[in-house]
Structure 1
Amino acid sequence: MLSAKNNFGPDYASVDDLTFVPKYRAACFCGKVQYEVSADPVDAKLCHCKTCQRLHGAPMQWAAIFHKYQVRFTAGVNLLRFYNNELDKNERILPCKVSCSLCGTPIADEGRRMWLAFPSLFDFEPGTQVPDSFKPTCHLFYGQRVIDISDNLPKWSGHKDLSDRL
């Protein structure tokens, strides 16, 4: 059960936290689920694993990684839908996929300690480019790719720094 006091869970910023200063805001497609983050991402990556491809219906997933304490939900916590693909359960068993139960927008991957947000949901200042801190630093599971990406980013066979660099 999610607590109203801390808004989403003990690892996340509370709506009552007066020291939390939002830096970026994000929302699902229908706008019913909204959250904000208080810092730049600690990293950003492109994942080419088959799970990300299937769950996103895309050749890869782009994620910006935040500590959970840097995340605060401002609307729609009760509309979140969870899916643990390892156990094939629609439950908040970490790690899990988080989406909006109304419009179906993938919101993030919730890890045990981290929040992997999808940058396309963020409302960056009109007319500005995506901040450098949101730009991917590497490709993960690149051996499972469906399209070649010609860039200068490191390409890993699995997780960053824990697998062979391709």
Structure 2
Amino acid sequence: MSDAESETGKGGQNADTSSNGNQPHQYQAGSSTDREEDQWKHRAPYCIHDKDEDFPVKWKGKCHCGAVQYQLSRDKPLASKYCHCTTCQRMHGAPFQWAAIFHKEDINFTKGIHDLGWYDPTAKSTTHHLPCKVQCAYCRTPIMDEGRNMILLFPTLIEGINTDEGREAFKAQCHMFYTQRVVDVRDGLPKFKGLSDKSPLVNEETGEEMPDCGPNKRQKTDARGSRA
């Protein structure tokens, strides 16, 4: 996503040996010291809850190779959206990104925090600097976008996402950056030119911006330009 919370980027990995037996991943130290760079391990979303009673598990997720695994304590995300920005298209190699927003405290990594890599698509840097994109350093599966306050997870990594319960819990509420789309999606969901609720709506039938009618009236207008 193309906003400060979702343009997740600067990566870098700690100097510990990864759990898959690969060579250690070295930090690329910037203005801060290596000790400061290493503090990410002790803060959410990376600090680990060892006891089940400390972290009620609602969902589990993992990367393609299984080196990185995590749990979620929230029944459903704070919001779920489709992002059509060109950055997401290239980073995911897909027409658009499906992102679910959670608090950083909602996730518990049970395996592979030393198998994580970071990337900043704006600076094209690989040091852990927020906001950043997070991936498995072994199979390169995108894990999440880490913002300064929130994380954006990708529901297709969640176990049980293809069940009725999973689809209902993680269903998207809108499309963002729809004018940058490479495919048309006529699903009746609101479609925004930029960030949702901060930009004009786009008519899904014509692809044109809809008249700015203010936030209260927007809620009464569907994606086809008809009044609800």
Q: Same fold (TM over 0.5)?
A: yes
Distance (whole Å) between structure 1 residues aligned to residue 115 and residue 134 of structure 2: 10
The aligned length equals 161
One-letter identity of the residue aligned with 2:69: Q
2:63 is matched with 28
CA RMSD of aligned residues (A): 1.6
Deviation sequence 1:18-68 (CA, Å, 0-9, x none)? 321010000000001001110010000000000000000000000111100
Which of 89, 106, 115 aligns to 1:53? It is 89
Gaps of 5+ in 1: none
Gaps of 5+ in 2: 1-37, 203-228
Provide the TM-score with structure 2 as the length reference: 0.67
CA contact (8 A) 1:43 1:133 kept: no
One-letter identity of the residue aligned with 1:61: Q
Distance (whole Å) between structure 1 residues aligned to residue 127 and residue 59 of structure 2: 28
1:81 is matched with 117
Q: Per residue, is there more helix in 1 or in 2?
A: 2
Task: Give 1:2 deviation, angstroms.
Answer: 4.8
Matched-pair identity in %? 45
SS at structure 2 position matched to 1:52: helix
- Structure 1 residue 119 and structure 2 residue 155: aligned? yes
Distance (whole Å) between structure 1 residues aligned to residue 96 and residue 149 of structure 2: 22
- Structure 1 residue 108 and structure 2 residue 141: aligned? no
Distance (whole Å) between structure 2 residues aligned to residue 103 and residue 47 of structure 1: 23
Q: Per residue, is there more strand in 1 or in 2?
A: 1
- Structure 1 residue 15 and structure 2 residue 49: aligned? yes
One-letter identity of the residue aligned with 2:59: Y
1:150 is matched with 186
Task: Give 1:133 deviation, angstroms.
Answer: 2.3
Question: Bigger CA drift: 20-29 or 8-17?
Answer: 8-17
Provide the TM-score with structure 1 as the length reference: 0.91
User: After the TM superposition, which segments of 4 or more aligned residues of structure 1 sit over 4 Å from their partners?
Assistant: none
